[in-house]
Amino acid sequence: MNTPLHSKSTISEIRTRFDGDVERFSNLSTGQSATIDAPLAMELITRAAISATPQIRRILDIGCGAGNNTLKLREVLGHDLAADLLDLSEPMLARARERLQAVNAGEICTIQSDFRDAELAPDSYDVILAAAVLHHLRDDSDWRMAFEKIYRITAPGGSVWITDLVSHETDAVHAMMWARYGEYLTSLNGEEYRDKVFAYIDQEDSPRPVTYQLELLRSVGFQHVELLHKNSCFAAFGAIKRSE
């Protein structure tokens, strides 16, 4: 990725792109096709959340898109829950609410906001989900502030589960993994599609290594961290907050 952080897309520009991309994020069986192993990653964070969290009453879905991850959690959990759906895009939120209301009688709250700006109460959420969203964070202070906020709003005994695009600590490994990802995209829809995906990643995203994020989760206070899966430039991982 060559675009410097100060020249990356603004929040408004990112919102505009996602406003027009609702259908791509509305397939529960495939997830987002540009993400390697999207269905597996969603399955793993869902089952990890349920396994690691004694009681799931209220969840937060950061960057919820069309609601796939919350829908999957509700499906596997098997009972209604309260869900706060947070996203930049109003069309995404509307679709997520519509889909979740069809299968869940619990309270559903939609929050149109950048997560960093949203007013969220401390110790509020038994489970926090963040799928393909944190890669929009920028410099080290931005990452730390966001992870500190995630820790602060997680309920004691609660957990956070992340699936995302990741970079790598060494240039050689990153280049090798990026080449593998390019081959995957080309196999889906050809070289033009690969170049399109690479272009918006370069313009919008600033991912960090999964090692960086696991260390950050622990440093902001989470007692346990877990790496569930990694394939090429994508990973699924999470953390659990100590019970009081």
**Spatial distance between the Cα atoms of 142 and 148, rounded to a whole number of angstroms:** 10
Residue 202 pLDDT: 94
Query: How many folded domains does the chain comprise?
Result: 1
Q: pTM of the full predicted structure?
A: 0.94
Contact call for residues 125 and 153 (beta carbons, < 8 A):
yes
Residue 59 CB-half CA count within 13 A: 33
Residue 130 CB-half CA count within 13 A: 27
Residue 13 pLDDT: 86
**Spatial distance between the Cα atoms of 30 and 9, rounded to a whole number of angstroms:** 27
Cβ partners under 8 Å of residue 45, min gap 6? 69, 129, 131, 161, 162, 163, 228, 236, 238
Cβ partners under 8 Å of residue 28, min gap 6? 68, 71, 72
Residue 204 pLDDT: 92
Look up the domain containing 139 and give its range.
5-240
**Spatial distance between the Cα atoms of 123 and 238, rounded to a whole number of angstroms:** 17
Residue 11 pLDDT: 85
- The CATH number of whichever domain residue 58 belongs to comes to 3.40.50.150
Closest by CA position to 110, among listed 128, 94, 126? 94
Residue 204 CB-half CA count within 13 A: 20
Kindly list the distances between the CA atom of residue 178 and the CA atoms of 1, 9, 163, 184, in Å, as whole numbers in the listed order: 10, 21, 17, 10
Alpha helix (H) residue ranges in 66-126: 68-77, 90-101
Ordered per-residue pLDDT tens for the chain, 244 residues = 678 888 888 888 888 887 777 767 666 665 577 899 999 999 999 999 999 999 999 999 999 999 999 999 999 999 999 999 999 999 999 999 999 999 999 999 999 999 999 999 999 999 999 999 999 999 999 999 999 999 999 999 999 999 999 999 999 999 999 999 999 999 999 999 999 999 989 999 999 999 999 999 999 999 999 999 999 999 999 999 999 7
Give strand pairing partners of 159. Answer: 127, 240
- To the nearest 5 percent, what fractions of the chain are helix, strand and coil? 45, 20, 35
